[in-house]
Chains A and B, each alone.
Chain A
Amino acid sequence: MATQHSRSAARLMMAPAVVLLLGWMLIPLSMTLFFSFKKYLPLRGDSMANGLEWVGFANYARFVGSSAFWPSVQATLVIVGGVLVITVVLGVLLALLLNQPMWGQGVVRILVIAPFFVMPTVSALVWKNMFMDPTNGLLAYLWKFFGAEPIAWLSQASLPSLIMIVSWQWLPFATLILLTAIQSLDGEQLEAAEMDGAPSIKRFWFIVLPHLSRAITIVILIQTIFLLAIFAEIFVTTGGAFGTKTLSYLIFQRVLESQNVGLGSAGGVYAIILANIVAIFLMRIVGKNLDA
């Protein structure tokens, strides 16, 4: 892409894709913005055809003013943060383990990756009914076996339970990306470090981890995008109760349960702002790994 000519050719060829993507992004975005400034309650007879009433920032004020707003932001951040920490730490450890030559490596790798192919709704239901059910769940049996009182996971420890379920789903993704990154590490570097007198823990810290930093960055960024919007897992487990109402869940409730499109759209704009704050924050911390 060096010459003037090839650069303008490249622009021309990319134009359709750029236009398509912009349209893809801009149309829903501008509709959300549009609705967020309108009173739009379909059940009360508001409709596009009759013209919607302009209400200024009233929807925004009401959304923030609702007692559920700040707890939902907090719940979102706790879930995203918790899942990120668990998947990255366990992902690195699992990737290290899977990279060791061992018997049945192929089968084990497929097993580790399997959860990723289970639909979120299904996996959350499996967790809810098979593991976390306070009377019939496997965890309840385990607790009883040790003579402890079974925990009603999804009500007593709702956020940790949710983090556990979502982490289980995303761990394979993190492991897979980190495993490919580990496999690309030059073995001679490790041998050189070994000769330089670094014991295995220091080899991990000084050689393996820096080598993985770029992959970890990618895992964090991609997962954040998806985790900010998790929905099915909450819907089928707690239904937003017990402090698990995230921002996206709150928006869902506003739009569908209370049939307030205007209020939901204002919430959507807040969600965009939150996502951008988180993204900028993450880019600041880890993004410098991407251009090195």
Chain B
Amino acid sequence: MGQIQLNQVTKSFGDVQVIPPLDLTIEDGEFTVFVGPSGCGKSTLLRLIAGLEDITSGHIAIDGTDATDVPPAKRGLAMVFQSYALYPHMSVRKNIAFPMRMAGIDQAEQDRRIEAAAKALNLTDYLDRRPGQLSGGQRQRVAIGRAIVREPAAFLFDEPLSNLDAALRVGMRLEISEMHERLKTTMIYVTHDQVEAMTMADKIVVLRAGIVEQVGSPLELYQRPGNTFVAGFIGSPKMNLINGPEAAKYNAATIGIRPEHIDISETEGMWQGTVGVSEHLGSDTFFHIQSGLSPEPLTVRASGERKLKYGTEVYLTPQADHLHRFDQNGLRIE
């Protein structure tokens, strides 16, 4: 079990309110990802749930019972820190055993769980090493192992992959998703890498300055962003946002169109522009096109074979059914 409910939770550091009143429900077994720009309060929110920070006002309930004043150890949650926070003077085995030792679980059961976790995380050969003798990815797995053996109601991850190189990150991403499928335990995962958010989440919570901008499945957020902030934040490369007279033609203050929803042609189209830098990824090519429509160049996705020289005059046509419209407050118009 692991349903977590935040009710009008706020957090202030001195006079600075980092989290304004916030309501959020995380269902049992859900993989929830908090994303948002740096400093928006993701870590703070996670630490409030963990109990490592006291909330200023409001209530937190875990599995329906009030946990606002419950100390972290009693909440039944396990956390994986960005710095891994392994105990450097203990072997991997002792690190993993530590929470069980604190809980007074008997030795045989401890050994059984350590073996199981080590096997699942490919750590069997490293059990007698110290954390200092492990690679970044292995340390990460030890930190996860230490969280798993507690059999927690929910896992909390604070940017667990940000210290790993790109290839390892992809691997660990899959392993964590795999683990979620197997354990079916609630997981809350903080990241500012939106590829992680899109690929792993059942539910994404987009935060800005402590405010929940939108909650939904990855595809919902991608296909129907609720406001311009979410529209610009989710998706890579970013959605093109256009203000002014061109948007007014669609009865909106701002229109948004994703790079893959613009057709590019050298002969005819709605908008005229000049090809700037192009990025060839092999499968796709992204063209950055200067047009008078917005200060930044528009990004357009084309197939990998498409080649356009720097400075070529081109015409762009947005696909009308994929056009997003927003009012002057930035909210979506249906």
Contacts and interface: CB of A to CB of B under 8 A. Distances in A.
A206 B95 CA distance: 11
A186 B99 contact: no
B60 interface: no
Nearest to A214: B89
B328 to A, nearest CB: 44
A257 interface: no
Contacts of A291: none
A191 B81 contact: yes
Interface stretch (A192-200, A221-229, A258-266): A192-200
Contact of A210 (B51, B72, B89, B99): B89
Interface residues of B, number: 24
Interface in B126-182: 146, 150
Most buried by B among A193, A196, A202, A207: A196
A131 to B, nearest CB: 41
Contacts of B72: 191, 194-195
Contacts of A193: 87, 98
B205 interface: no
Given A202-B102, A206-B98, A195 B79 contact: yes
Contacts of B52: 191, 194-195
Contacts of B51: 195
B85 interface: yes
B274 to A, nearest CB: 50
Contacts of A186: 83, 85
Contact of A191 (B85, B90, B98): B85
Q: Which of B82, B83, B89 has the most CB of A within 10 A?
A: B89
Contacts of A254: none
A121 interface: no
Nearest to B73: A197
Contacts of B99: 196-197
B213 to A, nearest CB: 28
A211 B83 contact: no
Nearest to B79: A195
B179 to A, nearest CB: 18
A2 to B, nearest CB: 21
Given A195-B72, A195-B78, A189 B98 contact: no
Contacts of B50: 195
* Majority DSSP secondary structure for residues of A touching B: helix
A36 to B, nearest CB: 45
Given A191-B52, A210-B89, A211-B89, A198 B83 contact: no
Contacts of A188: 81-83, 85
Interface string A111-131: 000000000000000000000
A195 B87 contact: no
A22 to B, nearest CB: 36
Interface string B51-84: 1100000000000000000011100011101110
Contacts of A210: 87, 89-90
B89 A192 contact: no
Contact of A196 (B71, B88, B150): B150
Given A186-B83, A206-B98, A195 B89 contact: no
Nearest to A292: B89
Nearest to B130: A292
A247 to B, nearest CB: 37
B103 interface: yes
Contacts of A197: 73, 99, 102-103
A198 B87 contact: no
B146 A196 contact: yes
Contacts of A194: 52, 71-73
Nearest to B74: A197
Contact of A206 (B81, B82, B83, B87): B87
B79 A192 contact: yes
A196 B103 CA distance: 8
Contacts of A207: 87
Contacts of B78: 195
Contacts of B89: 210-211, 213, 292
Contact of A192 (B71, B77, B85, B103): B85
B73 A196 contact: yes
12 contacts: A188-B81, A188-B82, A189-B87, A192-B146, A195-B51, A196-B102, A196-B146, A197-B103, A202-B102, A206-B98, A210-B90, A211-B89
Interface of A: 186, 188-189, 191-199, 202, 206-207, 210-211, 213, 292
Interface of B: 50-52, 71-73, 77-79, 81-83, 85-90, 98-99, 102-103, 146, 150
Given A186-B83, A197-B73, 14 more contacts: A186-B85, A189-B86, A195-B77, A195-B78, A196-B98, A196-B146, A197-B99, A198-B102, A202-B102, A206-B98, A207-B87, A210-B87, A210-B90, A213-B89
Q: Which 10 residue pairs are nearest across A and B when measured between Cβ atoms?
A: A196-B99, A192-B85, A197-B102, A188-B85, A197-B73, A210-B89, A188-B81, A198-B102, A189-B85, A195-B72
